[in-house]
């Protein structure tokens, strides 16, 4: 008899505990959805129930999410031995709106729209740490330019004039800066398609905590094509064997550093516009 009573109490306890947890989860997701809608982070058309519980409890839930993310970020930066850039990396996370992105992803996860969220969140955070750490060095792409110029050339000498002409005609670089008369460049039967069709860098889910990214890809593809990023990216390769003065090399180097920084900023701009 007593065993039966204990069993009944156990079942009732488990049921009540499940109901409480389920109710809390529903309350939390409605709270966060409502909070993000009010702050213009989540589209108003996102389907959720109006949050009617305590505003204070909702604020506490959001504050805890932010605090937990920042603590995890700090730990991951330390684990990567990037303490010297820690403040800069954290500032870049703020600059590029990563917290808003994360909170939006949490909502999608609470509503069952992201699979393996914990893993995707970890992958995204680690990847962003490495990307944003690079941006802490204002000359990072200049150093990349130097590294590529020091590598083996992939451009044959007979194609150099052809490709240079493409750059000047596309206004990627100014021919007068190189004392070149474009009309006198002998570039018959040549093609720079290999450099025009440079593959668009993959802009994929790991950057976004698992949020859907089709619109981001379309946005970046448009920027990539409009700004001739493929040719810009190949500049260090195309002009590596050309006889240039130190000032001309430095001019291209500065442009390359600027272009690649703008390109990285464009990726985050597309992320913030379309996620």
pLDDT of residue 187 exceeding 90: no
Q: Looking at the structure, tell me whether residues 72 and 29 fall in a common domain.
A: yes
On whether the pTM is more than 0.75, the answer is: yes
* Contact present, 231 and 170 (Cβ < 8 Å): yes
pLDDT at 136: 93
* pLDDT range class, residue 8, cuts 50, 70, 90: very low
Range of weakest confidence among 88-92, 178-182, 183-187: 183-187
Residues near 1 by beta carbon (within 8 Å), at least 6 away in sequence: none
Residue finishing a domain among 134, 153, 170:
134
Q: To the nearest 10°, the Cα dihedral for 141, 146, 148, 154?
A: 130
Q: Which domain holds residue 247?
A: 140-274
Q: Looking at the structure, tell me whether residues 126 and 148 fall in a common domain.
A: no
Residue pLDDT, tens place only, 220-238: 999 998 998 888 888 877 7
Q: Looking at the structure, tell me whether residues 149 and 59 fall in a common domain.
A: no
pLDDT at 189: 64
Q: Looking at the structure, tell me whether residues 154 and 260 fall in a common domain.
A: yes
pLDDT of residue 188 exceeding 90: no
As for how many domains the chain has, the answer is: 2
pLDDT at 139: 92
pLDDT of residue 206 exceeding 80: no
* pLDDT range class, residue 24, cuts 50, 70, 90: low
State the Cα–Cα distance between residues 154 and 194, nearest whole angstrom.
Answer: 11
* pLDDT range class, residue 177, cuts 50, 70, 90: confident
Other CB atoms within 10 Å distance of the CB of residue 84? 10
Q: Looking at the structure, tell me whether residues 8 and 102 fall in a common domain.
A: yes
pLDDT at 238: 76
Kindly state the percentage of the chain with pLDDT values over 70.
Answer: 79
The first and second tokens of residue 184, run together, are 């006198």
pLDDT of residue 84 exceeding 50: yes
In 3D space, the residue among 131, 133, 137, 189 whose CA is nearest the CA of residue 165 turns out to be 189
The first and second tokens of residue 45, run together, are 């058309």
Q: What angle do CA 129, 131, 133 make, to 5 degrees?
A: 65
Q: What is the mean pLDDT of the chain?
A: 83
Residues near 177 by beta carbon (within 8 Å), at least 6 away in sequence: 248, 251
Residue finishing a domain among 86, 119, 134:
134
The first and second tokens of residue 94, run together, are 């703020």
Q: Looking at the structure, tell me whether residues 77 and 200 fall in a common domain.
A: no
- Chain CA centroid to CA 138, Å: 18
State the Cα–Cα distance between residues 203 and 221, nearest whole angstrom.
Answer: 9
């Amino acid at each position: 008899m007593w065993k039966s009573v204990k069993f009944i109490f156990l079942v009732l306890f488990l049921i009540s505990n499940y109901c409480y947890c389920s109710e809390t989860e529903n309350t939390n997701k409605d709270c966060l959805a409502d909070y993000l809608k009010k702050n213009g982070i989540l589209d108003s058309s996102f389907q959720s129930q109006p949050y009617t519980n305590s505003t204070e409890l909702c604020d506490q839930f959001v504050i805890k999410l932010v605090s937990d993310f920042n603590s995890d970020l700090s730990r991951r930066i330390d684990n990567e031995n990037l303490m010297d850039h820690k403040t800069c990396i954290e500032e870049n996370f703020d600059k590029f709106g990563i917290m808003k992105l994360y909170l939006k992803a949490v909502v999608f996860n609470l509503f069952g729209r992201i699979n393996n969220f914990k893993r995707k969140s970890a992958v995204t955070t680690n990847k962003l740490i490495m990307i944003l750490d690079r941006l802490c060095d204002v000359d990072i792409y200049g150093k990349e330019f130097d590294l590529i110029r020091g590598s083996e050339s992939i451009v044959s000498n007979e194609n150099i004039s052809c490709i240079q002409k493409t750059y000047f005609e596309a206004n990627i670089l100014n021919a007068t800066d190189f004392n070149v008369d474009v009309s006198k460049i002998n570039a018959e039967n040549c093609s720079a398609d290999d450099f025009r069709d440079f593959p668009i860098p993959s802009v994929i889910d790991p950057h976004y905590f698992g949020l859907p990214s089709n619109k981001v890809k379309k946005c970046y593809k448009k920027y990539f094509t409009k700004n001739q990023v493929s040719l810009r990216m190949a500049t260090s390769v195309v002009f590596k064997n050309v006889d240039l003065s130190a000032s001309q090399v430095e001019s291209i180097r500065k442009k390359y550093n600027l272009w690649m920084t703008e390109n990285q900023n464009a990726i985050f701009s597309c992320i913030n516009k379309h996620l």
